[in-house]
Chains A and B, each alone.
Chain A
Amino acid sequence: MSSERAASTQESQLPGRVPLHESFREITEHVIDVMQRKPGRGYWLLLLLSLVMMTLGLAAWGTQIIHGLGMTGLMHPMMWAIYIGDYIWWIGIATAGTLTSAILFLFRAPFRAAFSRAAEGMTCIAILTAGLFPLIHLGRTWRFYWVFPYPNERHLWVNFRSPLIIDVWVIATYLVLSIVYFWLELLPDAAVVRDRSTGWKRTIYGMISLGWEGTDRQWKHLLMASTLHAALLTPVIISMHSITSWDLALAIVPDWHYTIFPPYFVTGAIFSGLAMLLTLMIPIRSYFHLERVITVDRLEQLAKIIIATSLMVTYSYAVIYFMAWYRGDPIEEVGYLYQFFGGFKVLFWLFTICNCVFPLTLLFRRLRRNLVWLWILSIIINVGMLAERWCIVAAPLARDYDVYSWAPGTFHVSWVGIGITIGSLGFFLFSFLIFIKVVPIVPLYELRKDMLREAREARAETEAEGLLKARYEELRIKAIETQSGAGGSES
C-alpha cells in the first residue's frame, strides 16, 4: 500500500511540474513586451484624438473662467445640469472598477484577476476625472479650498451637515484608498518591470516597487494589506455613491426626494462602469493579444453582471415612477410626465431604450459571447447612462413646487458645457492610453497564483483518483477473498 501511494504521488507530480514556470515566463514576457514595444499608428492616432479633445475642454474651461458660468448655458431653475450629470456618471464608472477589483476579490470570483488591474486603473483615472467637475462647476475654481475646513481668522468652519461637504470627504477618501490599493497590487509587478529594464526605467520602477523582492515576509503582509484594502473599499464605494445621490435626494425637490436613490445610484453606477470596463477591455484584449487570459467566458461573466444590474436599474425606475403616481402629489406627477412627454422626452426615451431595452439582448447566449455586439452595447449603455444622469439631475429642477419658476423646454446647452464633457472624455482616454503603456495591464502575480492553484487542484484530483482506485482494488480483492473463503467453508 505504501509503495502504491509513493508511486501515485510520484506520478501525480508530473502534470503540475514541467509547464508551470515556463508558462509563468511566457505570460510575463508577453505582457511586458506588448507594454514596452513601440506603439503602432492606431495608438498614436488615439493619443492625438485624446489631446485634441482635451484641448477643446481646456479652451471651453478657459472661456468659462474668463466670461463666467453664464457661458455654460446654465440658467435658473436648472442650475445643475450637465456638469453634475457628468460628475455622477464618472463617479459611477469609478465605482464599477472597484467592484471588479475589490468586491469580486472578497468573493474570490475566479474571473476577476484578468480584469482587476485595468479596472483599478480605470477607477483611479475616473475619480480624478470626476473630481474635476465640482471644481469646474464652482465657477471660481481657484476657491476650491473653501470646501475644506482650514484655519482662518474668522474661525469660520464648513457646514458638516451639507451633503456637498460630506461628498468632498468621501471622494477624497475614495481617491486615496483606490490609489493605495492600486499601488499595493502593483508592487510585485512593478518589480518585474524593474528587473527586466535598465537605466532610468529601472530606477523609477525600483522606486514604485519599493525594492520588492518577493520574500515570504513581504508576501505575508502584502496579502493581508491588500485584503484589508478590498474590505475597506467595499463600504466606501457603497457609501460614496449613496452620498452622491444624497446631493440630490436630501434636497426638497419633488422628483429627487426619494429614499430609493442611494441603492438606485449604486446599481446604476455598477451598470455604467461595467459597460465602460467592457468598452476598454475588448479593444485592449485584441491589442495586447490577451485572448488566453481574458477569455470569452470571462467577458461573458461581466455581461451577466451587466444584465443583472440593468434589470435592477429598470426596477428602480419603475419604483420611482410608481411612487410618484401612488403618492398622489400632483407636482411630483407633473414632473415625471414632463420627463416622459415634455421637454426631456428625447433624453428620457434615449436612456430608457439604452438602459432597459438593449441590455436585454444579453439574455441570449450567442449575443453575450459576441464581442463585437458586446462592445457596441457597452457604448450604447455608456450613452444611455450619461443621458440618464443629465436627465435625473436637470429634469426635476424644471418642475419644482414653486410653479412660478417652472422652466420651458430642456436645459440649455452651450459649446462650453459639451466641450468640457468631451474634454473630460479626452482626459480619461489620454490617461488610460498612458496607463496601458507604463503598467502591466494584467496582474501577473495573481495569474501565476491562479495557475499554481489550478495545477495543484488538478494534481490533487489525480492523486485522489489514484488512491480511490487503489482502495477500490483492495476492497474488491478482499471481497473476492471473503467470497471464496465463505464459498470454501460452505462447500
Chain B
Amino acid sequence: MSEFLGVMGYFSDADALKNAVEAAHREHLRRPVTYSPLPDEEALEILRPGTSSTRWTCLLGGLAGMGIGWAMTVWMSFDYPLVVGGKPFVSWPPYAVIVFELTILFASLGTVAGFLVLARLPRQNPSAGYRPSFSIDEFALFLKCDEESEERRLIERILRESGADRVVLVRSRDDLPIRRST
C-alpha cells in the first residue's frame, strides 16, 4: 500500500523556488527538500546555512595521508638500511615531496568519501516525485506533512502563492521500496 509522504510543488523558475523556500523557512515547516538543475547559492544559504562538512573529511584525509607518507618512507628506509650517496638513512627533505603528494591524494579521497556519505550517494531508486526534467529546467520543493492536516493546507497555499506551476501530493510507489526525499 502506498504511503503518503508529503506535498511537492513544481516550479519553472529558480526565483519562484527561492521565494517558496523563504516562505517555508518563515513558517518553520519541517525540513524542505529542493530539486534543482543548478546550485542556487541564495536558496542553499537559506536551506543549509554554514559550510559543508566535507572540508573536515578533507582535512582528516590529508592528515592521514601525511602520517602514512612519513611512516612509509621512514620505516622503509630503516627496514633495509642502505647508505645511498653518503646520506643518512632517513634523509627527509626529498621524502617531504612524497609526503606532500600523499597528503593531497588522501585529502582528495577523504573529500570524496565525505561527499558520498553526506550527500547520501549513491542512490539506486529515484525519490518519490522525481521527474527527469529536474536535471534540465524544472525546479521543485518537497515538504513533508500528514495527509489530513492543517499543515498540508498551509503548504499548498505557500507553494501556490510563490508561483508553483503544479502542486502534487506525493505517495510512495508500490513497485519500489519507499525512498523518502532526503
A: residues with CB less than 8 A from B are: 13, 16-17, 20-22, 24-25, 28, 149, 154-161, 163, 165-166, 169-170, 172-173, 176-177, 180, 184, 188, 191-192, 194-196, 207, 210-225, 228-229, 232, 235-236, 239, 243, 445, 448-449, 452, 456
Looking across the interface, which residue of chain B has its beta carbon closest to that of A171?
Answer: B101
The docked-state distance in angstroms from the alpha carbon of A310 to that of B34 is 47
Q: Considering the chains assembled together, what is the distance between the CA atoms of A169 and B100 in angstroms? A: 10
Query: How far apart sit A21 and B44, CA to CA, in the bound complex (Å)?
Result: 19
- Main SS at interface, chain A: helix
Q: List 16 A-B contacts (CB under 8 A).
A: A155-B80, A160-B73, A169-B102, A172-B101, A192-B37, A195-B136, A211-B124, A213-B35, A213-B130, A215-B35, A220-B44, A222-B39, A229-B111, A232-B108, A449-B39, A452-B14
Of residues 15 through 63 on chain B, the ones whose CB sits less than 8 Å from some CB of chain A are: 15, 33-41, 43-44, 47-48, 51-52, 54-55, 58
In the bound assembly, the distance between CA atoms of A166 and B101 in angstroms comes to 9
Q: A160 and B132: CB pair below 8 A? A: no
- A184-B115, A218-B121 given; A21·B13 CB < 8 A: yes
Residues of B101-121 contacting chain A, CB below 8 A: 101-102, 104-105, 107-109, 111-112, 114-116, 118-121
For the complex, give the distance between the alpha carbons of A207 and B43 in Å. Answer: 28
**CB proximity of A155 to chain B, nearest CB, Å:** 5
Contacting residues, chain A, for B48 (C-beta < 8 A)? 216-217, 220
Asked if B12 is an interface residue, CB under 8 A from chain A, the answer is yes
Residues of B near A220 (CB, < 8 A) are 39, 44, 47-48, 52, 119
- Closest Cβ of chain B: how far from A250's Cβ, in Å? 9
Measured between alpha carbons, how far is A442 from B103 in the docked complex, in Å? 31
> What is the bound-complex CA distance between A216 and B125, given in angstroms?
18
Residues in chain B near residue A448, CB distance under 8 A: 37-38
Task: Name which of A25, A207, A221, A236 has the most chain B CB atoms within 10 A of its CB.
Answer: A221
Partner of A169, one of B14, B34, B98, B121: B98
List A contacts of B97 (CB < 8 A): 166, 169-170, 239, 243
Q: Which residues of B contact A (CB under 8 A)?
A: 12-15, 33-41, 43-44, 47-48, 51-52, 54-55, 58, 72-73, 76-77, 79-80, 84-85, 87, 91, 94-95, 97-98, 100-102, 104-105, 107-109, 111-112, 114-116, 118-127, 130, 132-138, 181-182
Chain B positions within 8 Å of A166 at CB level: 94, 97-98, 101
Q: Take A166-B98, A213-B130, A213-B134 as given contacts and tell me if A219 and B44 are in contact as well, using a CB distance cutoff of 8 Å.
A: yes
Contacts of A239 in B (CB 8 A): 97, 100-101
**Contact partners of A217 in chain B: CB under 8 A:** 33, 48, 118-120, 182
Complex contacts, B47 vs chain A, CB 8 Å: 216, 220
Chain B: minimal CB distance from A459 (Å): 9
**Which residues of A are found within 8 Å of B109, using beta-carbon distances?**
176
Residue numbers in B under 8 Å from A215 (CB-CB) = 33-35, 127, 181-182
Closest partner residue, chain A, to B182 (CB atom)? A217
| CB–CB B132/A195 < 8 A | yes
> Which residue among A170, A213, A222, A456 has the maximum number of chain B CB atoms within 10 Å of its CB?
A213
| Interface pair B38/A225, CB less than 8 Å apart | no
In the complex, A12→B69 CA distance in Å?
57
Q: Is the pair A21, B58 in contact by a Cβ cutoff of 8 Å?
A: no
| Shortest distance between the CB of A99 and any CB in chain B (Å) | 17
Q: Is the CB of A223 within 8 A of B135?
A: no
Q: How far is the CB of B68 from chain A (nearest CB, A)?
A: 12
A5→B57 CA distance, assembly (Å): 46
Which residues of chain A come closer than 8 Å to B84, judged between CB atoms?
159, 161
Residues from chain A with Cβ under 8 Å of B94 in the complex: 160-161, 163, 166
Within the assembled complex, what's the spacing in Å between the Cα atoms of A188 and B134?
Answer: 10
How distant is B9 from chain A, measured CB to nearest CB, in Å?
14
Cβ-closest chain B residue relative to A154: B80
The smallest C-beta distance from A70 to any residue of chain B, in angstroms, reads: 30
> With A and B bound together, what is the CA distance between A36 and B15 in angstroms?
32
Which of A17, A28, A157, A228 is the one whose CB lies under 8 Å from B77?
Answer: A157
A225 touches B121 (CB 8 A): no
Inter-chain CA distance A68–B113, complex, in Å, is 44
In the complex, what residues of B have CB within 8 A of residue A221's CB? 52, 54, 114-115, 118-119
Task: Give me 10 other A-B pairs in contact (C-beta within 8 A), A159-B84, A170-B101, A211-B126 excluded.
Answer: A24-B137, A160-B94, A161-B91, A192-B135, A194-B135, A214-B37, A215-B182, A216-B44, A217-B118, A229-B108
